[in-house]
Amino acid sequence: MRETRRALALTLLGAGLWGLSGTAAQALFQRFSFPVLGLVSLRMLLAGALLLGVLGRGGRPALTPSFLALSLLGIAGSQITYLEAIEFSNAVTATLLQFLFLPMVAAYEAVRREIVWSGGWTTILVLAGVGTLLLVANPAPHSFGVLVTPGGLIFGLLSAVAGAYYSIAGRRLVQTSGPWPMTTWGFVIGGTATLPFGALSLATYSFPGTPWAGLELVGLVGVVVVLGTVLGYGFYLTGLRHLPATEVGAAASIEPIVAGGATYLFLGVALTLLQYAGGAAILVAVGLLGLRRYRRRGPASAPDR
């Protein structure tokens, strides 16, 4: 029980760090027009190099087809498709479409009886979904700010599929390889695969001309690499080692709350009453999730009831 509660806490922390990282990425795109593929490649390679420096090369997972697929389609794919969905539509549309990964994972685990479906699960998913909708909604009257374009729809749905695959496949592999070796080598492989495209976009990018702007850019990239990549993904995989993927995904819905708070503090974008209500709904969902975990008895590997 203690280990599973710790895993749930780390999942919440990792999702919060993703929220901070998302705000930093938004600033990179808005203020510096930083290239998407360049950021994806750079964040994975730097994160992999940092983890190799701290953890060393020991414990490398076997380079099986399943692990290579997770690195390329799950870790790299989820990042590229989500950021491209933002580029083709907007952050609201991308976030809402990406959230579809959670019912995909829940349906998969329910069919495989890794979780036993109940009214409690329905309540948690509905609260998390409605809360996400309200939190990322455009505060303009009579508009939720959803911009549907062919490219945005395709990449948004692909980001949901990639996120579901990352959660499901990652949970299986993390049982044998451990969260940090998987995180380290997943970044190394994914970053290497995207390097040609990232390097090309960075080669044509015009970097800031003033030292102060350059330092701000480096600082934002550092936040994305350390908080959103190294710690965010590492903590998420740690959660997957001890909890069902549905539970981890529901806990990760706290990400837009942190992103909204960080956007207000650092970018000056205030939240509306509806957005606060959305944040409250997500907190209630996470609270119900924690209550289920607190009341649960038996080994962590048993089906959740």
Per-residue 3-state assignment (H helix, E strand, C coil) for 271-304: CCHHHHHHHHHHHHHHHHHHHHHHHCCCCCCCCE
Return the exposure string of 107-120: e unless at least 16 CB atoms fall within 10 Å of the residue's CB, then b.
ebbbeeebbebeee
Question: With 80 as the cut, is the pLDDT of residue 295 above it?
Answer: no
pLDDT, tens digit, 9 for 90 and up, residues 214-232: 999 999 999 999 998 999 9
- What is the average pLDDT score of the chain? 81
- Residue of 135, 91, 131, 166 whose CA lies nearest to 286: 131
How many CA atoms lie less than 13 Å away from 19 in the CB half-sphere?
Answer: 25
The long-range contacts involving 132-135, CB below 8 angstroms and separated by at least 24 positions, are: 132/95, 132/96, 132/99, 132/253, 132/256, 132/278, 132/282, 133/96, 133/278, 134/274, 134/275, 134/277, 134/278, 134/281, 135/256, 135/257, 135/260, 135/275, 135/278, 135/279, 135/282
- Residue of 132, 158, 105 whose CA lies nearest to 254: 132
pLDDT, tens digit, 9 for 90 and up, residues 141-158: 444 455 567 888 899 889
pLDDT, tens digit, 9 for 90 and up, residues 93-130: 677 778 888 888 888 888 888 877 778 878 888 888 88
Whole-structure pTM value = 0.79
**CA 290 to each of CA 12, 22, 61, 284: distance values in angstroms, whole numbers, following the listed order:** 11, 25, 31, 10
Q: Is the Cβ–Cβ distance between 248 and 257 less than 8 Å?
A: no
Q: Is the Cβ–Cβ distance between 139 and 272 less than 8 Å?
A: yes
pLDDT, tens digit, 9 for 90 and up, residues 17-61: 887 887 788 788 888 999 989 999 999 999 999 999 888 766 788
Confidence of residue 288 (pLDDT cuts 50, 70, 90): confident
Q: Give the residue, 300 or 239, on which the prediction is more confident.
A: 239
> Domain boundaries in the chain?
2-295
